[in-house]
A and B are shown apart, each in its own frame.
Chain A
């Protein structure tokens, strides 16, 4: 994938303020950089109000930037109205035209451009076929289920092969099963069409399963951009670590650095000895440990593992694994998912008993912490 060379969208230092009716200024985008490559599936992920919709609407042209640059296929878009941008949107509310038939809804972009009848019919049919709605041209939107309307909205947006498709939480109104089916279909469709997708969601699972790259936003800032695995395994900061997946963040401090080995003390149990590259004495850190990175017994060389002591608060059997909530010696609550290898776990995991959890040192991911 060569999105570095010919990005479909390039956004540089985008800033957008809203003025509320009370006269306050809300900073919805605060210096956002983003580039989306051809045929790339990029997801905007973040909590409610972080600016996802705003970013999408600046790309589609319904909001203008206060400052910064927006290029689509290398062309500056600041003065280009929405109807002249090679971009279509799948709206959360679907926004199908209630007075038009499904065929006319899907053919809208073609009609507006005056595409000839025969070609129009063929392309509308093909687009509906692609989303599994072939032969429903005559129906009205009011006669379709929510999931079907969703597909029609999708067909309408891809019928003339835009360079880029924007999707604002398109699946949030669907029930769980349909949602998962649509996730797969969307991904396949994107692959087949070769259109770049910018997909908005605040469901991290959805983001992780569908995306080529994820953009994590918070408070109008880009927190991290990366492949799903990168974001999950190596979050750039405490916010991303906390937002994506279950995580335990343990506070620690670099106590000494000598001969390329740094010693960390803090909440993580016994002092940790790690490669000192990039670390300074006195530096505060977070150690990220995912629940599934804990073990009940030391799986190998004890020198390569850290140990954390605490008291079991609660244990829940979740099928195969146990979900353990542990109150550490320093008072942090640790969430661990451990497997019962020895078949004696139930005893050790009884609430109130003391427990030692092990983790591999190379699994621990360090995040710079605040002083």
Chain B
């Protein structure tokens, strides 16, 4: 005999099983394979040998003894650079989106909806095509250099593409919508009457911003930052198109190991390290901001 509670439990299980299946099949299982591979010895011609092999991590973190693999500090440098570029991308998208969200939220409804449509418009075209457009603009013979030269402002083409600047530009460009939407949601929710109350109690604009607007939109800022930071960190398309060989990011390294070098265990080790770093980052976030943000979101 089924009690009501039991029935509810079964119904819940039924409803959740497709999602569980998909996540299990396409996420947990591959992840487990990756974790396993990262600890196995790379085979001579791709594939793996079934022996325990901590040197995949050793090459990156510094305990490879030199008999099989060399420790090379370049991996850590690339990891560090990836963190730096991802963090700057977060800052840049924030700088673009925060004021824009306020502007959009103040527009009449029709214009507002149109703006939101424009923000999501890039999703309708291929990422590769959009990034290639930047290649055409930035390269030495590209649109920007040609125009500047034509105007006589510069003599020789500027070094625009294959720089950290170009990578940041591309990443900011593709991640702006991801930052904009959560920020906009929290800005839109902001109660104007609270700003009036703040002014009424004697706060100037600057004080109202720091005491009321900023804390109340912080959950949106935090959500946007996470949504931008994580894919920026592992991104390989932007650096490979706009950074070339000069500005490698950790994503490129993983891609190379899997596709070119066919060293899956080493690629898996790199990927596990990125994941560990992201998890650490998330953990800190939940510790510091999460409590307030979750409480806010639950209301």
Contacts and interface: CB of A to CB of B under 8 A. Distances in A.
Nearest to A86: B202
Interface residues of B, number: 20
B194 A109 contact: no
A108 interface: yes
B203 A112 contact: yes
A142 B196 contact: no
Interface string B185-206: 0000001011011111111100
B35 interface: no
Contacts of B197: 89, 91, 95-97
B107 interface: no
Nearest to B196: A62
A83 B212 contact: no
* A contact residues, range: 20 to 34
A83 B202 contact: yes
B202 A112 contact: yes
Interface string A87-120: 1110101011111000000001101110000000
A87 B198 CA distance: 12
B215 A82 contact: no
Contacts of A89: 196-197, 200
A156 interface: yes
B199 A82 contact: yes
Contacts of B277: none
A56 to B, nearest CB: 11
A15 B118 CA distance: 42
Contacts of A113: 202
A144 B114 CA distance: 40
B191 A95 contact: yes
Most B-side CB within 10 Å, residue of A91, A93, A108, A156: A108
Contacts of B296: 99
Contacts of A142: 299
B113 to A, nearest CB: 16
A83 B204 contact: yes
19 contacts: A61-B199, A82-B196, A83-B199, A83-B201, A83-B202, A83-B203, A84-B202, A88-B201, A89-B196, A95-B193, A95-B194, A97-B194, A97-B212, A98-B216, A98-B299, A99-B216, A99-B292, A108-B201, A111-B211
Contact of A108 (B196, B198, B204, B299): B198
Contacts of A325: none
Contacts of B191: 95
A135 interface: no
Interface of B is mostly: helix
A99 B215 contact: yes
A39 interface: no
Nearest to A108: B201
Given A91-B193, A95-B191, A95-B194, A83 B200 contact: yes
B207 interface: yes
A218 interface: no
A81 interface: yes
Contacts of A81: 199
A112 B201 contact: yes
B270 to A, nearest CB: 41
A320 to B, nearest CB: 46
Most B-side CB within 10 Å, residue of A62, A91, A112, A156: A112
A54 interface: no
Contacts of B202: 83-84, 109, 112-113, 160
A60 B299 contact: no
Most B-side CB within 10 Å, residue of A87, A97, A111: A97
A98 B193 CA distance: 12
Interface string B134-160: 000000000000000000000000000
A97 B215 CA distance: 10
Interface string A171-204: 0000000000000000000000000000000000
Interface string B157-178: 0000000000000000000000
A96 B194 CA distance: 7
A82 B208 CA distance: 12
Contacts of A160: 202
A164 B204 CA distance: 20
Contacts of A157: 201
A93 B193 contact: yes
A61 B199 CA distance: 10
B205 to A, nearest CB: 9
B216 A109 contact: no
A160 B197 CA distance: 15
B201 A156 contact: yes
B210 to A, nearest CB: 11
A82 B200 contact: yes
Nearest to A111: B211
Nearest to B195: A95
Closest 9 CB pairs of A and B: A95-B197, A109-B201, A82-B199, A112-B203, A95-B193, A83-B199, A112-B202, A89-B200, A99-B215
B193 A60 contact: no
Contacts of B194: 95, 97-98
